[in-house]
Structure 1
Amino acid sequence: MSEIHSALSSKTSDVNEKINRLEQAKRQIKEEQNACLGEIAKIKNPDLAKSWTGNRAEDFQDARSDAYKAMSTIIHDDYDDYQEKIEGKIMMLNIEKKALSAAGTIAHEADVLLGKGEAVIDQLESKISYLKGWLF
């Protein structure tokens, strides 16, 4: 039983570490996204409406507009996609964490049965077999 408790504890610790790292990455992406939102407005500055005219001015404005659109797509779509993927992985890890918690409950029940002696040995073997099959 000690081996089972140790394995459950180790797996739970690993899952928690992964969740923490993913949450940190998500926060960093959000911070970067917010910083980019502040910077993107600078692409359109200064306004050159009456200052520049002609083909070179139009080419410059087109290039500036293309840069703005590309940055906007990255900031709004790509960063949001990254955050959604991370959130999905966090959800899956939380499900795994709940399964580990359920296995921990079963392990505790097995400990209780073990304390009752030979009268419940069949029940104990069944629970231990289930846990070993699930963990290993």
Structure 2
Amino acid sequence: MGLYNDLNYIQSVIHSRSSDIQEKISRLRDAKTAILNEQSQLLNEIKQIQQPELHKNWMGPRSEDYHEERDSALQAMRQIGHENYDEYVSSIDSKIYLLEAQQGAISFYGNLANDAEYLLSKGEDFYDQVSHKISDLKGRLF
């Protein structure tokens, strides 16, 4: 029964880690969606900052100050809208890819555990193979 208990524990660890990774991926994807929506809103606001188009006769120091302030605000918003948000999305994508790679490894471990379970069901003739697979899994997981 020792191998069966070890295998059962390993399978529960694999399932738990897989669920944790899936939850993290889901939360990151939700965050990415929220950031992309926020970016879209900001880019729409950038269009609005250029409104209204000022009449050509509007000239003088107040006009120049206004144009400078509006251009400054526009540049800051463009930097945030294009560079900063893109950096956030890129960072999230990198984390998602890393977690998906970890999920792939966990899936592989699950396959190894299933193989060990199959061999365990075959009987004592496969004890050494099951023991080796369980030792291998323990080394990979812990």
Amino-acid identity (%): 44
CA distance in 2 between counterparts of 1:46 and 1:115 reads 76
The Cα offsets for residues 23-79 of structure 1, whole Å up to 9 and x where unpaired, read as 000000111111111111121222224353112211110111011011011101111
CA distance in 2 between counterparts of 1:103 and 1:41 reads 51
- Which residue matches 1:65? 71
TM-score scaled by length of structure 2 = 0.90
SS of equivalent to 1:109: helix
Computed over aligned residues only, the root mean square deviation of the Cα atoms, in angstroms, reads 1.2
- Which residue matches 2:114? 108
Unaligned runs of 5+ in 2: 1-6
Of 16, 22, 31, the residue aligned with 1:25 is 31
Amino acid at match of 1:132: K
CA distance in 1 between counterparts of 2:34 and 2:95 reads 16
Over 3 Å off, 4+ runs: none
Amino acid at match of 1:68: L
Q: 1:118: Cα distance to partner?
A: 2.4
**2:104 is the alignment partner of 1:79:** no
TM-score scaled by length of structure 1 = 0.94
Amino acid at match of 2:122: K
The size of the alignment, in residue pairs, is: 136
